[in-house]
Structure 1
Amino acid sequence: MSDKIAADAAVVIVGAGLGGVRLAENLRAGGHAGPVVMIGAEPHPPYDRPPLSKTVLTDASGRVDLKPGEFYADSAIELRTGEHVDALDTASKTITVSRADGSSYQQAYGALVLATGLLPRAFPGTQDVAGVFTLRTFDDAEKLRRAVGAGPNGSAVVIGAGFIGCETAASLHTLGLSVTLVEPAPTPLAQAVGTEIGALVTRQHTERGVTVRAGIGVDEIVTGEGGRRVTGVRLADGELLPAGLVVVGIGSTPVVGFLDGSGVELASREVGGGVACNEVGRTSADGVYALGDVANWRDHGGTQRRAEHWNHTVEQAAIVAAALLGTDHAVVPAVPYFWSDQYDLKIQVLGWPKPDDDVQVVSDDGHKWLAYFSRDGMLTAVAGAGKVGAVMKMRPKLLTPTPIVDVLPG
């Protein structure tokens, strides 16, 4: 089946984030002359999400727009913000879109690209409790930043010590709050990079005064004022942590509700959920593609996986654009890469780490560190804090099978 669309076909992109912007840019650069429409649910122009838990949270001017305002008009990209896609009709190749004023309209497409991203999970029963936050959008970060310092003794609890939780805890501490980071796993980041690296991350936080409560869950978020405002967090062992602010970072779910009844196949929860795609982003519906955090792509080995990393989204946008344009896209073997800025350190992970991999910490001065992951004697990943050059120079070693003994210090 050819993916190439007609030169005058309308490409409609649902989602105005990194994936949508890169796709639109690639389509225009590749010569597509037809309409390109990008629909975003937020009222803001597309912006970069990684700074939200860092510079945006600590600085009112920290938002980083992905493109200058004139880019969209100059590139003949129709950007519609503050609009939600409510339904997809694959038979008529139309979507139903609602505006902020309550009106709605039908938008036809020649090709539809779903780049709707994720929705953070809320702690049950707290959606209307003041002082409880999730962090996914620019407005979320703005609300949290404005609320900093409003709680008793400036205390905050961050529930969930994944990357977003750790970054948020670091930012809140930098803003002067007394912060407790709570995680049911044995250490922060244990599910992503294992407990050995998690212990090093724990050290980074505790040495700066953040309290890390790992290996314990949360029973309830305690409220006052008739249930209207948070006052604390009760842990599974009964301890009550006073808190004027609580940030919930317990994971996210792909935004796929508008696909109900559309016939677009979704991936199973076992492989990460989201929209099921082939190796160029095509879904089960004719003319419909998906990319970014919402998309569950089949790799060239036949494995379905959904990845929430910046570089995956950029690469997928290039692949989908090439498919729609009917051009060749040489898929260069990619090494997964992600990073996290916490305090004055950049934590980087390069490769395919699993929590049960063997880990060798090859450098640790009490502040900066470097570690290698291996499985069955073969190098699988590299992680480091404050070791940018040392991490990135290992990329060639991860592109080919490399025994761990070949890279360990002598």
Structure 2
Amino acid sequence: MKLLRRPDLELIGIDKGFRGRQVLRQVSLAVQPGEFIAVLGPSGSGKSTLLKIAAGFEQPDSGSVRLQGEDVTTVPPYRRNINTVFQNYALFPHMTVFDNIAYGLRRKKVPAAEVKQRVAEALALVGLASFGPRQPETLSGGEQQRIALARALVNRPAVLLLDEPLSALDLKIRRRMQGELKRIHEEVGTTFLCVTHDQEEAVVLADRITVMRDGGLEQVGTAREIYDRPATPFVADFVGEMNWLRGEAGGGTVRLADGSALHLPEGISPPAGALRVGVRPERLRIAAAGGTPGAWENALAATIARITFQGPSTVVEARTAAGEAIRCLCGPADAAGSLLPGSAILCLWDAGATLVFETAGARAGPGGVEQAGG
């Protein structure tokens, strides 16, 4: 008989409201040992409140929190084997780096020799072995972030919570820190739950992503599952870019608003009616009008409105005969360099890259077709 792993952290049926406003609605999430989960969503989606409930800083109105199988719903934060890295790092300015990291160990009455050894190990882990005597004010943002991580991990928590951990850093440092955070997670094997509004951060770091909207879970899955097969139009829009086209199904065929035939992924057969068709900009290729689609299964006539060179890629913005805007992200080998605004083109893509949603505001059903009433 196969033994099931017990999750390190379980949030079960969590409801939470503030001043008559429902912030979380029946949220359930299980985080497996050693897993890195990102909770992704826009401001106001409830993700930070969910993190505070996991940490014990807020109490749910209903539902429960379990840590390694134990119900800790009413256990105060300092008695949970959970540590949190905050957005502003929360380093003590009057303490050295060493004393900041040692603070939690000393409160637990850990012997001085062990404190020294564990702090040294934590500093080495984050690549700042010689920084013990430094003051926090002398550190860069990226260095402060790593010290905050070392302070949290030195206590060997069962679960590490991260609240928008990289949002205060500029783009270059943020991307470097993404790699550092991934390395640290892989090295220590601690279970991480990270709240972020940054889709790139979630995709790069997480084993699984939880997308939240208006206090509920829209979809939970790997980055590839969420990107390639989003459950709702909201997820499709929030994680990456999407072109939306109007379509109609009926009589065994599917047509776009300009009348062109649409080929769908194998196994998808939407019922008759209006469709919302999605295709990501990087899945499109362009060719001059009058050419042949070749091996591409879908072809849509359009006229170029704007071309924007972005170094390794070029963005072609066009408009279809039905008046719909469409964006194509082209590589160096594409035809974009030889075309001009006003040129007539064909937008080409594979049937497998097509997303189809039957109605707005409902969840996806079998085969990726969104169904009403879900």
Shorter-normalised TM range:
under 0.3
